């Protein structure tokens, strides 16, 4: 026979593992999710699934931010290139071996 039994706290949904002989709480297992299904394996699966969705959402947001950043830099480069062409400041850079 098992020397322990499990009790679920109705207040915090923690699972308390209690020793049958002494009545001492050996282990406290906090719920994995706030809205626990009662099955720890299912709760862990739901938590992993949720964290994966959050990671994908953050990745998409970072991609969009980088695209916007690239568009802004491209527009700025085009604007400065047009200004330089209008001023006539565009000349090929000098090559070091031409100076000899």
Interval 17-52: pLDDT, tens: 898 888 898 888 887 767 766 677 888 888 899 999
Query: What are residue 68's DSSP bridge partners?
Result: none
Beta-carbon contacts of 20 under 8 Å, excluding residues fewer than 6 positions away, are 2, 3, 4, 5
Question: Is 1's pLDDT higher than 60?
Answer: no
CA–CA separation, 94 vs 99, rounded Å?
Answer: 8
CA–CA separation, 99 vs 57, rounded Å?
Answer: 55
pLDDT of 100: 67
Q: Where are the domains of the chain?
A: 1-30, 37-88
Query: How do beta strands 15-19 and 25-29 pair?
Result: antiparallel
pLDDT of 87: 85
pLDDT of 35: 72
Question: Strand, helix or coil at 5?
Answer: strand
């Amino acid at each position: 026979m098992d020397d322990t039994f499990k009790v679920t706290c109705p207040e915090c949904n923690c699972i308390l593992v209690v020793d049958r002989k002494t009545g001492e709480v050996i282990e406290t297992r906090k719920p994995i999710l706030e809205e626990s299904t009662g099955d720890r394996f299912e709760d862990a699966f739901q938590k992993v699934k949720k964290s994966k969705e959050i990671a994908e959402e953050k990745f998409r947001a970072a991609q969009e931010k980088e695209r916007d950043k690239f568009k802004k830099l491209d527009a700025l480069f085009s604007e400065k290139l047009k200004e330089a062409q209008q001023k006539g400041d565009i000349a090929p850079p000098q090559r070091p071996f031409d100076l000899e």
